[in-house]
Structure 1
Amino acid sequence: MKLRNKKSDYSKLIRKLYLYILVNVMAAVVFVYVLRVITQRQAAVGDWIVGLLEDRFHFDHWLAMALYHRIIRDNMDFFISVAIVISILILCRVMLSKFVKYFDEINTGIDILIRNDDKPIELSAEMEFMEKKLNQLQQTLEKREQDAKLAEQRKNDVIMYLAHDIKTPLTSVIGYLSLLDEAPDMPIEQKAKYVHITLDKAYRLEQLIDEFFEITRYNLQTIALTKVHIDLYYMLVQMTDEFFPLLASNGKKAVIHASEDLTVTGDPDKLARVFNNILKNAAAYSEDNSVIDITAGLSGDRVSIVFKNAGSIPKDKLATIFEKFYRLDDARSSGTGGAGLGLAIAKEIIAQHGGQIYAESSDTYTTFTVELPASK
């Protein structure tokens, strides 16, 4: 099938080259025919040459005849051979010039790609297939360049936001520590309050610094997996227990619907990071006093883990939430969420496991689904 497509791509070019070959062959035939006619009518040609020598150079008849016989007639085979060789070289030159024209057009198109010009690439009609491919390549390179610039801009914006966010809790830590230092006889209750606030701000500062290092490491390392047999049910229970304080503070809770003997094969640390990022996202954006349902089960040769929470994601943002440095909230808040790397890294980890992750959202609920190969 691919070979047929290739032939159809080159069909116009092949027809055009065949036409040029046919024209050149016909020209060669005509030339040989003319030479043959000339050799068959040597007497008439000889008389014409002798007459030319007599008229132009004023030779007498016998001298002109002698020159004709000695120089031309006796070397007729040589002159015919030279004429044939010259005609072949001319025909080859014509054919090569046509091929060079096509290469020049392709070379011009490549130069446009190198210079990153906006103008479209235009080739001959018979090179239409190559013109389409070069223009598609140009569009692909432009899109990649735009994506790279957008990613770099997002990264710079996030770093700027993080720098601002780091400064905020750091200022609070310095301020409360200064109060404690300036008032050593401060009442115990007030001192405990200030210490508690300072500790919260320090934890937040640590989180932001971790995010900052996450950004700098994201493109500099590859995800290496250490796969083992994992008790998936126990992992989910342990994870929901860790999130209990965060969920309970807003009246939320996580409920697991899964068999206790459910297992998968994978890297436990990396998969825990994936589930942690999804649950963190659900905890941050779900409605207060709601339930986050975690349903896991075996379906054929795949294990499916579904996180369902109350709340919706706009359709225009649903397709981009797995892009790095993307956050659902356009205006970054220093109290919620991170740099927008969590779901992007989660997608990469699941892909390394041979699975897939995707999100769906309705007017009332949002679900994140992780599919992994079942344990053999």
Structure 2
Amino acid sequence: MKTKGRRNKRLRYIRLFAALIAVPLICYTIYYIADVFFNGAFVDWFTHRFVYEQTVYEGETAYVERQIAWNVLKPFLAKVFLLAAAFFALSLAFVSYFSQKRKAEKLLLDTSRKIHQYMHSELEAEEIFPSEYAQVSTQIVQIKADMQQKERRLKEEAQKKNDLITYLAHDLKTPLTSVLGYLNLLEEAPDMPAAQREKYVHTALGKAERLDSLIEEFFEITRYNLQNMVLEKENLDVSYMMIQMTEEFYPVLSSGHNTVRLELPQEFFVYADSQKLARVFNNLLKNAIAYSYPDTEIVVRGEQQGEQAVISFENHGKTIPKQKLDLIFEKFFRMDEARKSNTGGAGLGLAIAKEIVELHGGSISAESKQEKTVFRVTLPEKPSN
């Protein structure tokens, strides 16, 4: 290090000595060129343009007197001054522009380096950004906090998804084992009494249906992606859609001795994607049936509120606690912690419904009290301009 320092010091002295010799030489050269080569030419040019001669008589003596033609020289000097001023201004602007550009590039590079250091370290913003970066540091702190929150949310969601797949994989074994067991019994005892055979077949069929439902939940989890969803909106009659949907749910309703009452205007239109909205209503109606008490009525109402349509699904069942009601539209949230075989789903139905409704420019909400739960969907009746 010392050797390198001495070498640098020696180089500085050499450069200084060279400058002391070069500057006088350059100055003398400029003086020599101006005095020898340009002096006569300049004098001749100046005399020709700005000097006039006149003969002056003093007695019998006559001589030639030279005078500067100020009426010609003054306009010329004014033009030269204006040109010099313009040149000076342009030079100043040019130097200022490139100086500011260089300063901005340096500032940008320095800011970028500080941002990169902050984003990839555990240091506090005050340790990296000086006081003059206060505004930038405030925004970067917020961005980093948002990114960390989003990353935590994605990790939690992935963990929930993995846990749910593990639960469903475990749940698949139970109905499958039962189906295989009953089928083996039926195969091993061909002379089984008809009543017992019917009971075993009925039980095996129920387990197989549960197995099919669980497999469908697996598909629901793997294909859940609404990021690139494209809506094909049209004027849609909600009343007609709900009549058709209620008929499709008749077997499920009958198993719990539930009924659906529709309180909708005869012509009740919304501007929406028919297939996507059918999925929303299907999920809400399925949810209402799954959590209804037996022998109770599910009411579907519809009304117009200004330029919006409000559709509500009301069922009678166990009151949903406030802490669960706040999470009911979260992905992979399951209402029943015990994962009951009849109601435990993948926890995507309501999350999907919420995203589809919001893509339509609407909203969805839920309230539950005194053993009555109501889901409300608000949608625009007309296309937005």
Normalised TM-score (structure 1): 0.69
Point out the structure with the larger helix share: 1
Q: Among residues 327, 344, 347, which one is paired with 1:340 in the alignment?
A: 347
CA–CA separation in structure 1 for the residues paired with 2:347 and 2:340: 12
SS at match of 1:218: coil
Cα contact 2:335–2:344 (8 A) shared by 1: no
Residue in structure 2 matched with residue 81 of structure 1 by the alignment: none
Assess, with a 3 A threshold, how the Cα gap between structure 1 residues 125 and 235 changes in structure 2: closer, same or farther.
Answer: same
Between 1:343-352 and 1:155-164, the stretch displaced more is 343-352
Q: CA deviation at 1:106?
A: 4.6
Does 2:150 align with 1:152?
no
Name whichever of 204-213 and 228-237 sits farther off: 228-237
The answer to whether the 8 Å contact 2:236/2:272 transfers is: yes
Q: Is the aligned partner of 1:254 residue 2:260?
A: yes
State percent identity of aligned pairs. Answer: 46
CA contact (8 A) 1:284 1:337 kept: no
Whether the 8 Å CA contact 2:263–2:300 is kept in 1: the answer is yes
Say if 2:337 is the partner of 1:330: yes
Residue correspondence of structure 1 range 343-358 to structure 2 within 5 A: 343-358=350-365
Equivalent residue of 2:336, what SS?
coil
Residue 203 (structure 2) aligns with: 197
Opposite residue 244 of structure 2, the aligned amino acid is Q
Pick from 297, 301, 308 the counterpart of residue 291 of structure 1.
297
The one-letter code matched in structure 2 to 1:330 is E
Given that residues 359 and 368 in structure 1 are in contact (C-alpha distance below 8 angstroms), is that contact kept between their aligned partners in structure 2?
A: yes
Tell me the matched-pair count: 295
User: What is the CA distance between 1:225 and its match in structure 2?
Assistant: 3.5
1:148-169 Cα shifts (integer Å, max 9, x gaps): 1001001101111111111111
Any conservation in 2 of the 1:281–1:337 contact (CA below 8 Å)? no
How far has the Cα of 1:98 moved from its partner?
11
Q: Is residue 191 of structure 2 the alignment partner of residue 185 of structure 1?
A: yes
Which residue number in structure 2 is paired with residue 369 of structure 1?
A: 376
Q: TM-score, normalised by structure 2?
A: 0.67
Q: Structure 1: where are the runs of 5+ without partners?
A: 1-69, 79-88
Q: Which of 308, 313, 320 is residue 307 of structure 1 equivalent to?
A: 313
CA contact (8 A) 2:336 2:343 kept: no
Task: Give the deviation of 1:129 after TM superposition.
Answer: 0.8
Per-residue CA deviation, residues 57-111 of structure 1 (Å, 9 max, x unaligned), is xxxxxxxxxxxxx969x87x99xxxxxxxxxx9xx99x98998578535513323
**Larger RCO (CA under 8 A, 6+ residues apart):** 1
The residue type equivalent to 2:280 in the other structure is V
Larger Rg: 2
Q: What is the aligned partner in structure 2 of residue 279 from structure 1?
A: 285
CA displacement, residues 249-272 of structure 1 (integer Å, 9 cap, x when unaligned):
445432221112222343333222
Q: Which amino acid aligns with 1:238?
A: Q
Q: CA RMSD in A?
A: 3.4
Q: Paired residue for 1:64?
A: none
The alpha-carbon distance between structure 1 residues 301 and 111, as it changes in their structure 2 partners (threshold 3 A), is: same
1:121 aligns to what?
125
Alpha-carbon distance between aligned partners in 1 of 2:282 and 2:225, rounded to the nearest angstrom: 21
Query: Which structure features the higher share of strand residues?
Result: 2
